[in-house]
Amino acid sequence: MSSVETTLRIGGDLPVHRLGLGAMRLHSTTPAVRAASISTARRAVEIGVTFIDTADAYELGLNEEMLAEALHPYPDGLVIATKGGHARPGGAWVPLGRPEYLRQQAELSLRRLRVERIDLYQLHRVDPKVPFAEQIGALRQLRDEGKIRHIGLSQVSVDQLVEARRITPVVSVQNRYNLTDRASEAVLEYCQAHGIAFIPWLPIKPSVASDGPLAEVAARLDATPAQVALAWLLRRSPVMLPIPGTSSTRHLEENFAAAGLELSTKDYSGLDALVPA
């Protein structure tokens, strides 16, 4: 077992295993694909995943419905986080942060997830056309009404995070981050300093090549490149909560096992140095 702490308390009161599951790749395009998605979601919980990330935008709500079908009534300790504020007109991704829209989407997520309160509701994207304070204010109102327990943000800067925290507590940030893309380093450091969970999306996809320095470390440790990429993230910060996305039960199990992979300081630093700070 790795000496890296495997539990993180989101918002101080939601303990989760630090290796979560990103549900975006669990599709419902055909009955057979949906059945496979349901069994992958169930397998995740069986092996110890306690944090699953979804969004209203994933197949326009079908992803949330699929998770509810797979896992409701939810076992104690399972946290399903969802997001709102990224619309999909014609398949495009368009930020839509008008307060009335965020409110409607949260209500629909409550219904699809079959819960009375969403544990973690994340603003999927900041809408540049709507005053930021109004978007955060809409989330605060949902929280005040008990419809959501905690507020998270996605793809934000440190300045936006600071501004949001003047309006309401923020317990998580979901930004793109991985071994080779550390544009959000300053946000991660801010989160670590303030005990805010940092949920890196795209945590492994750029790292799964079968050659290169990562693959060399993986071969030496009898692990896979994806596992090394995840172990590096877990060691990078105690607030890191990766949500690797997969449609494969085999990859799910492989990814979760990365929590038990110990990276030596030499390997950790060597990988760290692949991208200049």
Ligand X SMILES: NC(=O)c1ccc[n+]([C@@H]2O[C@H](COP(=O)([O-])OP(=O)(O)OC[C@H]3O[C@@H](n4cnc5c(N)ncnc54)[C@H](OP(=O)(O)O)[C@@H]3O)[C@@H](O)[C@H]2O)c1
Name the active-site residue from 58, 121, 177, 190: 58
Does residue 245 belong to the site contacting ligand X (CB under 6 A)? yes
User: Binding residue for ligand X (CB under 6 A) from 155, 160, 172, 184?
Assistant: 155
**Residue count at the site for ligand X (CB under 6 A)?**
26
Does 202 help bind ligand X (rule: CB under 6 A)?
A: yes
Please report how close the Cβ of residue 210 comes to ligand X at its closest, in angstroms: 10
Residue position matching structure tokens 């005990």: 195
256 binds ligand X (CB under 6 A): no
Contacts for 98-107 with beta carbons within 8 Å, 24 or more apart?
98/127, 98/130, 98/134, 99/130, 99/134, 99/135, 99/137, 99/138, 99/141, 102/135, 102/138, 102/139, 102/142, 103/138, 103/141, 103/142, 105/56, 106/142, 106/147, 106/148, 107/147
DSSP 154-211: ES--HHHHHHHHHHS---EEE-B-BTTB-TTHHHHHHHHHHT-EE--BS-SGGG--SS
Residue from 201, 231, 240, 241 that binds ligand X (CB under 6 A)?
201
Site for ligand X contains 204 (CB under 6 A): yes
Segment 36-65, which members bind ligand X (CB under 6 A)? Answer: 53
Shortest distance (Å) from residue 275 CB to ligand X: 16
58 is catalytic: yes
Q: Can you tell me which of 6, 168, 237, 247 binds ligand X, judged by CB under 6 A?
A: 247
Name the minimum Å distance from CB 227 to ligand X.
Answer: 7
Active site residues: 58
Where do contacts with ligand X occur on this chain (CB under 6 A)?
Answer: 22-25, 53, 124, 154-155, 174, 201-205, 208, 224, 226, 243-248, 251, 254-255
